[in-house]
Amino acid sequence: METYLESSASEHLRFALAAAKEAADISRRYYAGNFTVTTKADLTPVTQADVECEQAIRSSILERFPEHGFYGEETGRTQEDAEYLWLVDPIDGTKGFVRQYPFFSTQIALMHKGEIILGVSSGTMMDELAWAEKGQGAWLNGRRLSVSAIDDPDRAAVSVGNLKSLAASDGWSALGSIVERADRIRGYGDFYHYHLLAAGKIEAVIESDVNILDIAALSIIVNEAGGLFTDLNGRGPDLEIRSVLAANPALHAKYLASLRGYVA
């Protein structure tokens, strides 16, 4: 896939895009189902593709940037005190990958002193490659992204996902008030609804039961497209994030007023 990059793109971003392509080549080989599946201690699945993709990305990062830290879904974290920390989910959406849903992706982000400064989101089977770097805008397959300007909840399209913890809390009724007014409710899931949000095709994403590796890259893509990306209490993404409210600025404030306080 050819991509457009501004001449100002950093060495880090160019490296992340190359690493995502390498991971896509690996996951594509396994997608037809020729892999084994094991279950981790948290009862989530892991495949040969997850492990091989992460090992490839990790090896490339630590060879190119030996002073950087690495935090991966399958191999954990190195160098707790590193100034730069790479955040990698080699196959975000493994459950879907196992069942041959195309909504899985490779997520690669770079954090500098606690701030996410770039992200690459590669939707391998859907031919979607999105990226963003702080101050440089957000891009999808070479096209600049921008969130929508819709500010009326009655006209908004909202996508939801991973709602187990919200369903078990008082937040379920708060979500119901949003659903009741929305023009359209969908559950696009995983990386895809964030790409749609950043492209102005939907107005908000609401999720719980996430971790930083799931959403680090997506958070800067949404922010650089002009959106707001927080948890359900209004806090920005950090290593402890567990929920998401991402939306264009006008609707983010309205939805946050309904949802704040329901999920830690």
Spatial separation of the C-alpha atoms in residues 108 and 165, rounded to whole Å = 26
What is the average per-residue pLDDT within 104-130? 96
Question: In the 3-class helix/strand/coil scheme, how is 174-222 assigned residue by residue?
Answer: HHHHHHHHCCEEECCCCCHHHHHHHCCCCCEEEEECCCHHHHHHHHHHH
Alpha helices in the chain (DSSP H): 11-30, 48-64, 94-98, 164-167, 171-181, 192-198, 212-224, 249-259
For residue 112, what pLDDT is reported?
Answer: 98
Among 144, 161, 176, the domain boundary falls at 144
Residue 229: both structure tokens together: 């990306």
pLDDT tens for 39-94 read 766 656 667 888 888 999 999 999 999 999 999 988 889 988 999 999 999 998 77
Q: Is 137 exposed, middle or buried (0-12, 13-18, 19+ CB in 10 A)?
A: middle
Same structural domain for residues 133 and 211? no
Same structural domain for residues 110 and 32? yes
166: domain CATH number? 3.40.190.80
Strand order in the sheet with 243-247: 184-186, 157-161, 204-208, 243-247, 228-230
What is the average per-residue pLDDT within 249-264? 90
pLDDT tens for 232-245 read 999 999 999 999 99
For residue 4, what pLDDT is reported?
Answer: 54
- 179 vs 99, which has greater pLDDT? 179
Asked if 127 contacts 173 with a C-beta cutoff of 8 angstroms, the reply is no
Residue ranges making up the domain that contains 179:
153-257
Same structural domain for residues 106 and 213? no
Is the pLDDT score of 11 beyond 90?
Answer: yes
Domains contained in the chain, number: 2
Among 144, 179, 196, the domain boundary falls at 144
Same structural domain for residues 44 and 132? yes
What is the average per-residue pLDDT within 253-257? 97
Total Cβ atoms within 10 A of residue 22: 14
